[in-house]
Structure 1
Amino acid sequence: MKTTYSFKNVDKDIRNAILRQYQAFLTDAPNDTIHFFLKLDNNITISIYKNDTILFQGVDSHKIAGQFFGKIELGEDVKKEIRVETKLYSKDVIGADEVGVGDFFGPLVTCCAYITPQFVEQYPDLYKELDDSKKLTDEKIVSLYFQIKDRIKYVLYIMDNVEYNNLYDKYKNTHVLKAIAHNSGFIYALDSNDFPKNKQIVLDQFVNKDKYFEYLKGEKRVVSQDLKFQTKAESEFPSVAAASIIARYTFLTEVNRLSRKYQIDLPLGASNDVKALVRKYKKEFKEETKNFIKLHFNDN
């Protein structure tokens, strides 16, 4: 079985994610061409070279590399085992989820994603790692995002804070905003030639089906065919988990962008410390706060 896997021109975010996850295994580099050298358990090593090449060595090192790169050239004996494990693919659906509705700062982000049966055969270890973004660290979100972003189909809808605040003033209901954002994403996906036709869409349920469509009565076009609502769908449907991961990564990126733009700290969530910052920013930025704060939240 092949025990060496090399990747060239590795993105710095992936390199940093590897270093964060395995920093406890950092040791002296064996030569000057290696910038970082990590010696893991079971005689697995990771060499991060100064020319942005990363080398994984050791039996089962493909499992470690697969956390960050997904596509691994495996020996025929391993491929045979994988084909047996993944030949049955019963969750061939488009998945959808949203992120950001519980945070004072940043937009509402929805994503719908599609994972093909071929993905399951080609990247079995990566497939098994897809899970609800709320169960994953931000470092893991970054790692998984860079592994799947070019290997699956997905569409994002970013409802920025200005649109969010305007729509909330109109509807006074965050569920309406989520329904509008998801529906917009579904329209983009189904109009795209990249997405398969006549596939069931599984939405992580935030409201019952009747209410969802009631919320969309004012929309010119509503996607309703083959739409399934299911609680905790991220745990059952990898495509929903992938949508959750991509939405989370995008949300984090948008919050960081807003933080840089206004040169302020924009922590996540809605804790008392966050509320204190919200009150502070409302005094300092006044009208501009509509650009980065969800204004309907109670900050007392």
Structure 2
Amino acid sequence: MYGRTWKLNGNKSKEIRGYLLRKGGIEESPTNPYELWRIKLKGSTFVYYTSGKLYSTQSEEAEEIWKEIDSLVGDNLDLSKDYFIGFDEVGKGEVFGPIITCGVLIKRDYISQIPSELKTPDTKKSHDFEYWGRILSIINKHISDVFFYAIDLIQPREIDRFNINQLLDLSYTKLIKRLMEGLPLGVEARVVIDDYGVGEGLKKFLEKESKESNFEYIFAIDSEDKFLEVKLASLIAKAHRERILKFLQETYGIPRNLIKGNMSNKKLELFLVNYSHIDSWFIRKSFGNKVKKEKPSFYNLISEEGKFRCFFCGKENNEAFLRNYKFVCPFCDKEMKDLDLAMKYHSGVIKVDKESFEPILEVIKNSHLLDGFGFVFDHALKGYFIYYENIGRILTLDKPPSKYITSRVKGDVVVFSLFRNVDNI
């Protein structure tokens, strides 16, 4: 059991304040300059802040009051739509660990069944790891074909090298395709993306999609305060990132009070000066450095038909070879640099069988070539990968999306091929 938070405008705050007083609430004096009013009711203290947020301390007695506030606040939903799809990311300004992007899909009929504790947590507020563990547990208990999500990892090595907003464009494009692939033809959906500075590539993709579907696309600043679907995407991304940070902190000996920090934190800056690790993959190194970032042109290493392109010999092929921790062209044997990133953002999911799992696990153990990928494998193999999932290097999935990457062993190489599963479309 824990407290609740709502985002209110001025008129709505007056309405809710009046409601609380009519229910027998006792008004108290604000305790600091950031509080506009405080009301004690049903064992909970309701505090409305200058930021526009209303917070209620935990109390089982207050649950009915919370439900009424939920109905008064509303969720900005156009109930003429069949589905609501929201996207958000967390970790963009922090030093440790990956950025996590998330897309969540809700069928209209399920909205009323979403647990109230998932609708109003304040993702900007600091909570302990245990709190986020509870949130993640609640989320996963309610996953079904009418409420589900997909997440993606953008790793520090990518952030240090490439334009971050363009990476977000690619990540969201992948997640949008994944969430939409199973929807019936002709349905109406609202798709809301938190506007981080959405690029032309993603806008063109969505413009094309909108012509072929009954989808409404919205880019909005501070969208998690306005749209339930984005609020849930933010919550899910935050819960997963907090889980990863917990394991990073424990694994790499980072002080708990610094693991969530950014470079404005002087204590963190001093810590990093003196910190060293043989493999510091989890630390972003480009903060404070005015380095011109690359455009993620690696995306063009895979054609629209799903073939791998070699920039050396100019040939395209359905297969790519992995040898000695490098992808090489089957024709000219030259290294296909950054093909891993192209594969990650085109599909990002590798199906592993019992034959290929050992060489792939060796690659994960000894390099970062496959960091950020999702893996699908027999349940009996999951124990071998769980450590790498816990620290945020990979994801594991129960089943592959419609487009995924197959892997098989051929002599001294692992052969990767893009595969389209029509059964999942």
How far does the alpha carbon of each residue in 1:218-243 deviate from its partner, in whole angstroms, 9 at most, with x for none?
xxx99853432111111111110000
Say whether residues 1:285 and 2:280 are aligned partners.
no
| AA partner of residue 102 (structure 2) | C
- Displacement after TM superposition at 1:154 (Å): 0.8
Which structure has more RCO (C-alpha within 8 Å, separation ≥ 6)?
1
- The structure in which a higher percent of residues are strand is 2
How far does the alpha carbon of each residue in 1:28-81 deviate from its partner, in whole angstroms, 9 at most, with x for none?
xxxxxxxxxxxx97489xxxxxxxxxxxx98665678x9xxxxxxxxxxx9xxx
The residue aligned with 1:15 is none
CA-based RMSD: 4.3
Matches within 5 A, 1:213-232: 213=203, 224-225=209-210, 226=215, 227-232=217-222
Does the CA-based 8 Å contact 1:63-1:125 persist in structure 2?
Answer: no
Does the CA-based 8 Å contact 2:102-2:234 persist in structure 1?
Answer: yes
How far does the alpha carbon of each residue in 1:182-212 deviate from its partner, in whole angstroms, 9 at most, with x for none?
2222222223569x96523210001145375
Matches within 5 A, 1:108-187: 108-123=99-114, 125-126=116-117, 129-130=119-120, 133-135=123-125, 137-138=127-128, 141-151=132-142, 152-162=147-157, 164-165=158-159, 168-169=160-161, 171=162, 173-187=163-177
**Corresponding residue to 2:239 among 246, 249, 255:** 249
Distance 1:87 1:179 in 2: 26
How far does the alpha carbon of each residue in 1:74-111 deviate from its partner, in whole angstroms, 9 at most, with x for none?
xxxx9xxx999989941652000000110011101000
Distance 2:154 2:137 in 1: 23
State percent identity of aligned pairs. 20
The residue aligned with 1:25 is none
| AA partner of residue 268 (structure 1) | K
The residue aligned with 1:102 is 93
Distance 1:87 1:161 in 2: 34
| AA partner of residue 153 (structure 2) | I
Say whether residues 1:269 and 2:257 are aligned partners.
no
Distance 2:218 2:75 in 1: 25
- Displacement after TM superposition at 1:254 (Å): 1.1
- The structure in which a higher percent of residues are helix is 1
Matches within 5 A, 1:42-81: 42=42
Distance 1:62 1:154 in 2: 28
Distance change >3 Å, CA 174–CA 146, structure 1 → 2? same
Provide the TM-score with structure 2 as the length reference.
0.43
Tell me which structure has the larger Cα radius of gyration.
2
Distance 2:73 2:233 in 1: 24
Distance 2:149 2:90 in 1: 15
Distance change >3 Å, CA 181–CA 123, structure 1 → 2? closer
Provide the TM-score with structure 1 as the length reference.
0.59
Distance change >3 Å, CA 207–CA 83, structure 1 → 2? closer
- Displacement after TM superposition at 1:130 (Å): 2.9
